Amino acid sequence: MNLQNPKKFKMLVDQAHEVALNVLRPISRKYDKAEHAYPKELDMLAALVDGMNQAGDGMNAGAAVNKRGDTSTGNKNGVNMSTALSIVEMCYGDTGLLLSMPRQGLGNSAIAAVANEEQLQRFNGVWAAMAITEPNCGSDSAAIRTTATKVDNEYILNGEKIFVTSGDRADAVVMWATLDKKLGRAAIKSFVVTKGTPGMTVERLEYKLGIKASDTATIRFENCRVPASNLLGNTEIDVAKGFAGVMETFDNTRPLVAAMAVGCAKAALERIKEIFKDQLDANYATPYLQCSHIAAQTYRMEAEWEAARLLMLKAAWMADNKQPNSREASISKAKAGRVCNEITLRCVELAASVGYNEDELLEKWARDSKILDIFEGTQQIQLLIIARRELGKSSSELK
C-alpha cells in the first residue's frame, strides 16, 4: 500500500487542519467547561462541510463500506479514506466538538451501511445519532433486549438506550431492537426514530470525564410507534446471515474512531515536542540509546503513533476497495485507542505541572482520549474479535 496521503485529498486535509487550529482550538476549553451547552459556532462549519460533501469525497460520517453505484475495480481512495484523514485533523483540534458536528453522527454511518435506496434519499441531510447500548447490554450488542413489535404498517418500540452520543441534539436516532428474542442475533434490526416521535423520551444527559462538548443521552422508548418503512435495510430475518448485516456498521465506523484517536494523540505529541524542542534531535541523528530520557520517550511515542495511523489507513483503504475489513477495523481501533491513551497520559506526565493544569490543553486531551478506547467496542472486545478472525471461530465458539 502507498503510505503517503493521497494527493487528491491534500486540500481537504489542509482545510480540516486550518479549521482545527482556527475554529475548534479557540473554543475547546469554553465548551469543556460548559458541558451540555450546544456549540453554536459549529452551525456555519457544518454548512461548509455539507457543501464539500456534495461536491465529492469529503468528511462524511455516512461513508459506506460498499459505496453504492461504484463499479470500479482498480485501487481506490474514496470517501472512507477522505473521512478518516479529515477526522484526524478535526480531532487534532477537539474530539468533543467533532462529535458535536451536525449531520456527522454515527447513526448516519448506520444509514449508509444498511439502508435501501429509498431510505438513503429520505434520510439524506438528517443528523442521526446511534442508540445501541442498554443498561444490561454493553459490549455484547447481540444481547439487546429492546423490542420491536410489528402491528399493521408500524413497529412499536419498547426499551431503554444509554450513552447515546448526540442523543438530545440530533434530528433522529438509529436504534437497534430485536424482532424476536428467541431468534437471537439474526432478529436484531435498526430503526430510524425521528426526534419528537411520541413515546421517545430523553431521560437525562450524562456528566462525563471528557468530550464534554458532546452530549450523551439516555433515551426511553415506551410504546413508541414508527412507520414500518423506517426499519433500515432488509425486513426479513435471515438466520443464516445472522448479525452480519448489522455489524457492517461497525466495520465502517471503527476505522473512523481509530482516526479520532490518531488525531487526539497527534495533538498531544506535537505539543510535547514543542515544549521540549531544545532537547530533541529534529533530524533523528542521535542513536536511541544515547538520547535523553525525554527524547527516547518521545521517539517511542512517535513510532507507536505512526503504527496506529498506518493501521487506520489500511482499514479505511480496504473499505473503499470493497475488501472485507472486520479484522483490520478491529485491529486499527484497538491499536489507536490504546496508543492514544498512552500518549496523552505520558505527555501529561512528561510536562509535569504544565501538563496537569488548565493553562494547557494536555490534561483535556488526556481526559478526552479515554472514551476512544471504549466506545464502538472496548479494547477487550476488539481483541476478542481479532482472535475470532485469526482462529476462524464464531462468537459462540470463542467468548
Selected catalytic residue, list 154, 358, 376, 397:
376
Which residue in 395, 248, 235 sits closest to 325, CA to CA? Answer: 248
Which of 12, 165, 51, 183 is CA-nearest to residue 97? 165
Tell me the three cell numbers of residue 98.
467533532
User: Would you tell me how many other CB atoms lie within 10 Å of the CB of residue 289?
Assistant: 6
| 328 classed as catalytic | no
- 309 touches 262 (CB < 8 A): yes
Give the C-alpha separation, 354 to 262, whole Å: 23
**Cβ within 8 Å of residue 283, ≥6 positions away:** none
Integer angstrom CA distances of residue 387 from 309, 377, 390, 398 = 21, 14, 5, 8
Q: How far apart are CA 347 and CA 344, in angstroms?
A: 5
- Give the whole-angstrom CA distance, residue 52 versus residue 66: 21
Residue with cell 531544545: 278
Active site residue ranges: 376
